Structure 1
Amino acid sequence: MKSGIHPEYTDLKVTCSCGNAFVTKSTMSKESFHVEVCSECHPFYTGKQKVVDTAGRIDKFKQKFGKFAR
């Protein structure tokens, strides 16, 4: 293996918008990194998913295509 061609592998502090912070390893040259969503606040991981019905679109869809459902 050639020497001097591989990037340096260092610790990286990741901070989320929700306030959660953790340390991981990375080849990024930064010391810290900011993300908008992490596993502590993402609805897929928390199980708190919300169905947003803007302007009654679900009801409008059911009214339009409800007659085709069994």
Structure 2
Amino acid sequence: MKPDTHPAYHEMTVIMTDGTTFKTRTAGGKPGDTLRLDIDPKSHPAWTGVQRIMDTGGQVAKFNKKFAGIGMRKG
């Protein structure tokens, strides 16, 4: 096997959205780096089953207005 073919493997601290932390080992980043998560299994709707609609700049209202008539039969 060739020498120096594997990337450096070191510890990194991960901070979850609720503030809890844990250490993991990774080949990404630098030794001692911190990764702060915006979405994790404690907050993401795919895992929690609770869905929130965040309307950023009226995008949801714009979508609803644009596609309000689709699927309705005209008679």
**Fold agreement, TM-score > 0.5:** yes
1:1-70 equivalence runs, <5 A: 1-28=1-28, 29-31=30-32, 32-51=34-53, 54-55=60-61, 57=64, 61=68, 64-65=69-70, 67-68=72-73
Kindly tell me the number of residue pairs found equivalent between the two proteins: 65
Aligned-pair Cα RMSD in Å: 2.7
Q: Quick one: percent identity of the two aligned structures?
A: 26
Instruction: Name the structure where helix makes up a greater proportion of residues.
Output: 1
More strand by share: 1
Which deviates further from its counterpart, 45-54 or 27-36?
45-54
Unaligned 5+ residue runs, structure 2?
Answer: none
> How far apart are residue 25 of structure 1 and its match?
1.7
TM-score by length of 2: 0.60
From the superposition, tell whether residues 52 and 34 of structure 1 become closer, same or farther in structure 2 (CA, over 3 Å): closer
- The alpha-carbon distance between structure 1 residues 41 and 30, as it changes in their structure 2 partners (threshold 3 A), is farther
TM-fit CA distance, 1:21? 2.1
Separation in 1, partners of 2:25, 2:14 = 10
Assess, with a 3 A threshold, how the Cα gap between structure 1 residues 37 and 67 changes in structure 2: closer, same or farther: closer
